[in-house]
Amino acid sequence: MAIPSLTSVAPSSGPTSGGDILRLAGTGFAARVAVRLGGLHAEVLSVREETGTAYVDVRTPMHEVGTVDVELLNLSADGRPIPGEGAVLPGAYRYLRPRVAKEATLTRLVRTLLRELKRQVVANVSASISVDYDDTMADGLNVIAIASLPSVVLSGPTLRESRRYSTNVLHEDVVQGPSGAELVRRRPAYTVDLAFTLTAASNRTAELFNLMAAVATFLNRNRWLSMARDAEDASRGTVRWEMDADGEVRTQLGSRDDVRAFTWGLVVRGFDVDEGLPLDIGKAVAGTHLETDSLPGGTT
């Protein structure tokens, strides 16, 4: 009788939606094993032994938020659990709510937008997930107590799936495995367009038109903008935005006592909100290889 043991589980956490690849390490694994997370069966992708350590790669099942036990059972040739040949690692895996977007990247984008609006348009700029306004048939759009006037409020973003800018192709990463470099193949990233709304308000008509001109200049001048201008940001990149077809300029010029306001939509195209969950892992990488196709004229 071979008594298996579990020594580690990596990674130690993943999304509640499942589909993540989990690697179990230990000793005494049979050629066929079953793995359970919180009592739910996980799909076993591979079982192997390297340098005296046994490894099992599994795909996690769906589960609610919380910490679960990881259980491994040795199976016989016909797929039945072998009595007494099991191991449990209590509380070894934690299910977390999946993030809708990469927080760090999205935060840098919004921060850069706010900073450039303050510098190029008007100093009084704030961000809000919604704008407090009274949108009635009687008086149109009146911005109420956003901030001291004149001001600009950046609202959003809302996410719209972008098929035009999505690469929709698998991508591969090289990671360090127990016996050298391994290849991780991932699903295509989920690509979206981020729709923002700029709401500007003033109590003077001339000042409002100056704001409109400043915003138009800002949008035309900054169609490509670096997301990482801060020294503490390790990553670098640019995003492209353009006028939102659904966010045409709308103005409200009421009486002299009304607050004058306008809204303008802009959209950031082709923003990846995730990198795609791994499809498989464990293929050894012996070296780099460039695949080429012959083209007419003797070129490749």
Q: How many domains does the chain have?
A: 2
Residues 165 and 266 in one domain: yes
Q: How far is CA 107 from CA 125, 155, 195, in A?
A: 16, 14, 15
pLDDT of residue 290: 45
Reported as a single tens digit per residue, the pLDDT across 59-109 is 999 999 999 999 999 999 899 999 999 999 999 999 998 766 555 677 788
Quickly state the pLDDT bin for 51 (edges 50, 70, 90). Answer: confident
In a domain, 299, yes or no: no
Q: What is the pLDDT of residue 25?
A: 94
Residue 267 lies in a domain: yes
Average pLDDT over residues 47-58: 90
* 155 and 72 part of one domain: no
Domain end point (choices 65, 96, 127): 96
Position 136 in a domain: yes
pLDDT in tens, 169-197: 777 777 777 767 777 777 777 888 888 88
**Inside any domain, residue 278:** no
Is the domain of 79 the same as that of 152? no
Does residue 87 lie within any of the structural domains?
A: yes
Residue 151 lies in a domain: yes
pLDDT of residue 145: 46
- Averaged pLDDT of the chain: 77
Q: What residues make up the domain containing 57?
A: 5-96
Does residue 43 sit in the same domain as residue 173? Answer: no
Q: Are residues 55 and 199 in the same domain?
A: no
Lowest mean pLDDT, pick from 10-14, 126-130, 229-233, 264-268 = 229-233
Please check whether residue 294 lies inside any domain of the structure: no
Confidence label for 209 from pLDDT (cuts 50, 70 and 90):
confident
List, for residues 8-26, the tens digit of each pLDDT value: 999 999 889 888 889 999 9
Q: How confident is the model at residue 222 (pLDDT cuts 50, 70, 90)?
A: confident
Among the ranges 119-133, 206-220, 279-293, which has the highest mean pLDDT value? 206-220
In a shared domain, residues 113 and 260? yes
pLDDT score of 234 more than 50? no
User: Both 133 and 53 in a single domain?
Assistant: no
Amino acid 65: pLDDT: 93
Comparing 257 with 94, the larger pLDDT belongs to 94
Scored b (16 or more CB within 10 A) or e, 109-137 reads bbbbbeebbeeebbebbeeeeebebeeee
Q: Are residues 132 and 89 in the same domain?
A: no
Give the count of beta carbons closer than 10 Å to the beta carbon of residue 98: 14
Is the model's pLDDT at 289 over the cut of 60?
A: no
Phi-psi region of 262 (alpha: psi -120 to 50; beta: other; left: phi over 0): beta
Residue 216: the pLDDT is: 84
25 and 116, same domain (yes or no): no
pLDDT for residue 260 = 72
What confidence tens digit (pLDDT) does each residue in 106-145 have?
778 888 888 889 999 998 888 875 444 444 444 434 444 4
In a shared domain, residues 75 and 115: no
pLDDT in tens, 156-166: 888 888 878 77
